[in-house]
Structure formats: C-alpha cells, structure tokens
A = this chain, B = another copy of it.
Amino acid sequence: MHKAGWALVLTVLLATPAPGHAAATGVIFQVSTNSPATWKVAVHNVRNLERATGMPGNRIEVVVFSRAARMLLKDSPVAPNLDALHASGVTIEACKASIRKVGLKLSTILPFVRYVPSGVAEIVRRERQGWAYVRP
C-alpha cells in the first residue's frame, strides 16, 4: 500500500466520532425543572465531575430550559455557583424559546449566559457528536 493510501485511511478513521475518545468529546447537563433543589444538585454534580475527573470546564455545557429558566436570573439562588462554573470554563446555556415563554427580560439574566434557539436541539446535537448526556 502506498504511503498516501495509509494516510487517507488513518485520516478517515481518526475523523470518525468515537464514543470513547475523551479528548474530542464532552458532557452536556440538562436542567429543566422549576425546583431550586434540583438546580443545586445540578451545579454540585458539575463541580464534582470536574473534581473527580479533572475534565476541563470547556468540555462541559449546562443547558437550561423549560421551567428552569429562572435559575439563570441574576438573583437566582444558584447564581454564585453558576458564576464559579463559568469561571472554570463551563458554558452555561439558555434556551431562547423558554426564556421568551417564561417572559424573562434579558437584562435580568446572568451576563455570561449563552443563548441557543432550542435547549433540546442542543442536547441532540451534542449527543450526536458523542458527548455524554446527564440529566440530574
């Protein structure tokens, strides 16, 4: 086999999304209930994952939708926890559709929050990329 042939085979193999390939994938957490107790559990779960595995924050997303939208308010009971997660590189995401439905003003939401059109679509997108999904 020619050198160029092997190079192509290896390129295609390495480009295939492999569930076990930690370097290329991450973890997406879902928060969608209106229970502050569950919000607290979720932020602790993310922190524990970082501590237990040394996974860098920038491979972790927390996507917030449905009745959990208020979790992202500046005066939310978990605002300090979200601030710390964001400082460690974790992406905090809000579902735009849910924000509109709950009727929240963007000015009342934590400034580092990133917006996605649909929280569920973001979960599906990440799972298809091989990310692990956790629903605390």
Please indicate the chain B residues that have their CB under 8 angstroms from the CB of A136 in the complex.
Answer: 32, 66, 120
Classify chain A: how many residues form its interface, as a range. 35 or more
A13-38: which have CB < 8 Å to B? 13, 16-22, 25, 27, 30, 32, 37
Q: Are A49 and B118 in contact (CB under 8 A)?
A: yes
Please indicate the chain B residues that have their CB under 8 angstroms from the CB of A130 in the complex.
Answer: 19-20, 128
15 further contact pairs, Cβ within 8 A, besides A52-B118, A123-B132: A5-B6, A13-B13, A16-B16, A19-B127, A19-B130, A21-B128, A30-B134, A30-B135, A45-B120, A48-B118, A48-B120, A49-B118, A51-B118, A123-B134, A127-B133
